[in-house]
Chain A
């Protein structure tokens, strides 16, 4: 579904992604784990069209999308839940969800998706008219996810959805990610919480200072001594 071949991304003269390649198949949950500053968000921003790779290709359903503007990426079916939620805190929950469906014109489908999102996150329905800035961190995460789903994406990119949330809430969020995946949405999950991420993923990549240093099935990587020492707290 998504195939990234040898991309290089720079911030000025900071070389943030160094020849990154990665593949995601239809229906999978793929996780990308790595420490702070490794380049995870940079990769998601590049896929979403917020950053342009200097070279290399990004193929989405066999079409080159590297360097395309964000709008055209969303239109093709890739949505992102950015790091730190980035909800529009000056707007209501409902308005945030409407913005998620910004490019869609099918009123009926949008209405259905509102219902689906409210089913997935009943909290959001209760708080429909509330300013999203007043939501708790967990609720904002749900809103950011619901907002991305309103675009009816085929590939959903999630950037550290567990960040700053209480363990119980993290569990809920991960259960919902699995649910979203089961309804047919392919998922690329970026996490520092490697334990949790590997527990729901089919396959995983490990990124260190802009380079992919390990790849394999989630089961394989959870067994690897090296990965366990570096990312799983050595248990």
Chain B
């Protein structure tokens, strides 16, 4: 049953990757930018959640909400200040800017509060673990999975059923055609950053609760892995990011279970290389159709 236990851990971890990967993929879908600062929004989300819980003395769900709202605003600010002026610049210029923004947030955080880690208080949510077919599933795993699931369903609803969601899909498909519909492209891009960043903020709080330790550079590795997850699923494709995240989490857990836990971080990048070689459009990607 050890393997099932690892599978549950993998899915929990994977759903955190998935939440972060969604922001990567949505932003890429709409402005064709790999937002390398996205992992740092996740970190900021973790800290906002932490301070909400410890300073404001509130529970997990209110902290989650505050972190999501704050990260949404933060994401929009990043887009407006750093990326919008470069919308017509070369992709490499935008990419380099994204790396700059990432470093700025990381070291800005260290400048403001120092580099020391914090620990999320334990027992935030008094959840009992349950036994399922002889496997003990921790309350936290259930909470993570449940929260991630709810957020993903909510995202699917927004993207497919609401006006702003339809505008987002229209802009990501054809910006000029979307303009001809009267869609405000700038606002739609901002909304995309807001939603993606809110999900990263949520992932930050969930991560803090699950792994306890948070610090200013904590966004780098999960950020990179979420990027791999997004590419794995097919960058720009929302269900792809969800699946990519879960698959990556499970692969890592299985590698750990096989006794190679030191190789865990490396595995994500092996996956990236394999995907780029054998299926560059990702699991959900169709054959690439270049726009003429």
Residues of chain A touching chain B, judged by Cβ–Cβ distance below 8 Å, are 45, 48-50, 69-71, 74-75, 79-80, 82, 86-91, 95, 98-100, 102-103, 147-148, 151
B181 near A99: Cβ-Cβ < 8 Å? yes
A102 near B182: Cβ-Cβ < 8 Å? yes
- Pairs A–B under 8 Å by Cβ, sample size 30: A45-B176, A48-B179, A50-B176, A50-B179, A70-B179, A74-B182, A75-B182, A79-B180, A82-B176, A82-B177, A86-B174, A86-B176, A88-B169, A88-B170, A88-B177, A89-B173, A90-B173, A91-B169, A91-B170, A95-B166, A99-B170, A99-B178, A102-B167, A102-B181, A102-B182, A103-B181, A103-B182, A147-B181, A148-B180, A151-B181
A50: chain B residues at CB < 8 Å are 176, 179-180
Expressed in whole angstroms, the Cα–Cα distance for A89 and B172 within the complex equals 11
User: Which one of A75, A80, A91, A95 contacts B180 once the chains associate, using CB atoms below 8 Å?
Assistant: A80
Assign chain B's interface to a size class.
Answer: 10 to 19
Expressed in whole angstroms, the Cα–Cα distance for A148 and B181 within the complex equals 8
A88 near B173: Cβ-Cβ < 8 Å? yes
Q: How far is the CB of B282 from chain A (nearest CB, A)?
A: 16
B174: chain A residues at CB < 8 Å are 86, 88
B173 near A100: Cβ-Cβ < 8 Å? no
Check: B142 CB closer than 8 A to any chain A CB.
no
9 smallest CB-CB distances across A and B, nearest first, come from A74-B182, A70-B179, A103-B182, A86-B177, A102-B181, A71-B182, A99-B181, A102-B182, A88-B173
A100: chain B residues at CB < 8 Å are 181
A151: chain B residues at CB < 8 Å are 181-182
B281: chain A residues at CB < 8 Å are none
Expressed in whole angstroms, the Cα–Cα distance for A44 and B167 within the complex equals 23
A70 near B180: Cβ-Cβ < 8 Å? yes
Closest to A48 in B: B180
Contact with A along B148-173 (1 / 0, CB 8 A): 00000000000000010011011001
A74 near B180: Cβ-Cβ < 8 Å? yes
Check: B255 CB closer than 8 A to any chain A CB.
no
A147: chain B residues at CB < 8 Å are 181
B77: chain A residues at CB < 8 Å are none
Expressed in whole angstroms, the Cα–Cα distance for A98 and B183 within the complex equals 12
B163 near A102: Cβ-Cβ < 8 Å? yes
Check: B54 CB closer than 8 A to any chain A CB.
no
Expressed in whole angstroms, the Cα–Cα distance for A89 and B170 within the complex equals 9
B129: chain A residues at CB < 8 Å are none
Expressed in whole angstroms, the Cα–Cα distance for A153 and B170 within the complex equals 20
- Given A74-B181, A147-B181, residue A99 in contact with residue B166 (CB < 8 A): yes
Expressed in whole angstroms, the Cα–Cα distance for A45 and B176 within the complex equals 10
Check: B184 CB closer than 8 A to any chain A CB.
yes
Closest to B171 in A: A88
B180: chain A residues at CB < 8 Å are 48, 50, 70, 74, 79-80, 82, 86, 148
Expressed in whole angstroms, the Cα–Cα distance for A95 and B181 within the complex equals 12
A88: chain B residues at CB < 8 Å are 169-170, 173-174, 177
Given A82-B177, A91-B170, A102-B183, 14 new contacts (CB under 8 A):
A71-B179, A71-B182, A71-B183, A74-B181, A74-B182, A75-B182, A82-B180, A90-B169, A91-B169, A91-B173, A95-B166, A98-B166, A102-B163, A102-B167
A49: chain B residues at CB < 8 Å are 179
B181: chain A residues at CB < 8 Å are 74, 99-100, 102-103, 147, 151
Expressed in whole angstroms, the Cα–Cα distance for A49 and B181 within the complex equals 12
Closest to A90 in B: B173
B170: chain A residues at CB < 8 Å are 88, 91, 99
Q: Which of A45, A74, A88, A90 has the most CB of B within 10 A?
A: A88
Expressed in whole angstroms, the Cα–Cα distance for A103 and B180 within the complex equals 11
Expressed in whole angstroms, the Cα–Cα distance for A69 and B184 within the complex equals 9
Expressed in whole angstroms, the Cα–Cα distance for A126 and B40 within the complex equals 48
Expressed in whole angstroms, the Cα–Cα distance for A79 and B167 within the complex equals 17
A102: chain B residues at CB < 8 Å are 163, 167, 181-183
Closest to B187 in A: A71
Expressed in whole angstroms, the Cα–Cα distance for A9 and B178 within the complex equals 22
Expressed in whole angstroms, the Cα–Cα distance for A148 and B180 within the complex equals 9
Expressed in whole angstroms, the Cα–Cα distance for A102 and B165 within the complex equals 12
A71: chain B residues at CB < 8 Å are 179, 182-184
Q: How far is the CB of A190 from chain B (nearest CB, A)?
A: 14
Expressed in whole angstroms, the Cα–Cα distance for A147 and B184 within the complex equals 17
Q: How far is the CB of B255 from chain A (nearest CB, A)?
A: 35
Expressed in whole angstroms, the Cα–Cα distance for A99 and B174 within the complex equals 13
Closest to A74 in B: B182
Q: How far is the CB of A8 from chain B (nearest CB, A)?
A: 21
Q: How far is the CB of B165 from chain A (nearest CB, A)?
A: 10
Q: Which of B169, B176, B184 has the most CB of A within 10 A?
A: B176
Expressed in whole angstroms, the Cα–Cα distance for A100 and B177 within the complex equals 10
